[in-house]
Structure 1
């Protein structure tokens, strides 16, 4: 239960991401809480991960993905996303073993594959296969970053599918994802949009998503480009709050006001 929004801008050279701070903890806690921790996690100096779903599952995928790419000098964003997809699949497999295979059969996946080959038509096997087919982490992941080819957005979702969103140029995940996506569509955001326009669109999309269950009110926004990752300061957030409106576009004066505050973010230091 959360929202994460991403948008490519500046002709495919910069990506803006935003997230709330609502945390969801599954059993045995079954808790939702809005804390002080940002949900935009740095994988490399020019790439971040955001996720919606259970915090323990998300943190596990994040830590294993970071460990998988940290040894590679300057990995491209597609490689990072593919690594995250592999980690997602492996983690889902472990969770299925813990929740289904060991409690019901006392075996791991390797043992299950052997058993399935020997008794594929048994009733118990059919029941276990049904449980495995329904097993879903409920975890969606966004990978956003910049490499030598420009800015990129990828989504990793059940059961570990990796999808590039570069052509669309925007992506929203979480319980508020639909509301955020509609708001981005109304804004007619394109990868050629300016940084100021992207900041406004992403911020407004996050605000629109707050009507969805489980979306927190605190908003974090980060800009990623060839120079690195930079979280926007309170001055930009204040301008975004001042020009907040129901209609999706800005007038010239508003664009200029926001663009003035954005100086220094096109090329992060």
Structure 2
């Protein structure tokens, strides 16, 4: 009780509370944004396991996601800034490119046939554009809790919080793509998780339009382990240029070339 009273006394008045708050300046914890960002970067942050972040970034920005400890799962949504009705469409992303598996060179597409981002580097190879993210009901059934601030938060709950920061609601949340936890499709159509590629792997995305990113870092919905598992996710954004003619990604395939033409024709860059 003595320790409790001493702690309360330290913030018992407005003056004491202010002094206590100011004494925390400069405190650094494992998962937090770096402010100011390091020189040459637009943003740098380590997102906690079960956490989320949201960023508004200009076209051309290069976003690096790193699975620091080998158990992150980055559930990503993208919206065109100022036109949030144009957003990531995971179904079109795999359908238009004739490939269910995201890898280096893959585009993240909107339902308007335009490119939101290009995956320009991938050292993980364990990703998923099919299963979506976890829900509160599913996580409650599996782990006992799926609330955003609980011990095993669901991806949809975290993305709902991130979306609200930009005036978006649950109805604005399509299925995300997930990085660092792989899924394969069997001959009978069933999905099978392939796990993580290990710590230190990364994916690098080049934004092809001005974009709003929503990111939830939480367990994949098909994770076979009985307990909830996740580890921190590192996010870094640096200035760059959009893909243009002459870049190998510009006309890597006829479908990707047309998507870049559609994007450039809009003048959204």
Output the TM-score relative to the length of structure 2: 0.23
More strand by share: 2
Return the structure number with greater helix share.
Answer: 1
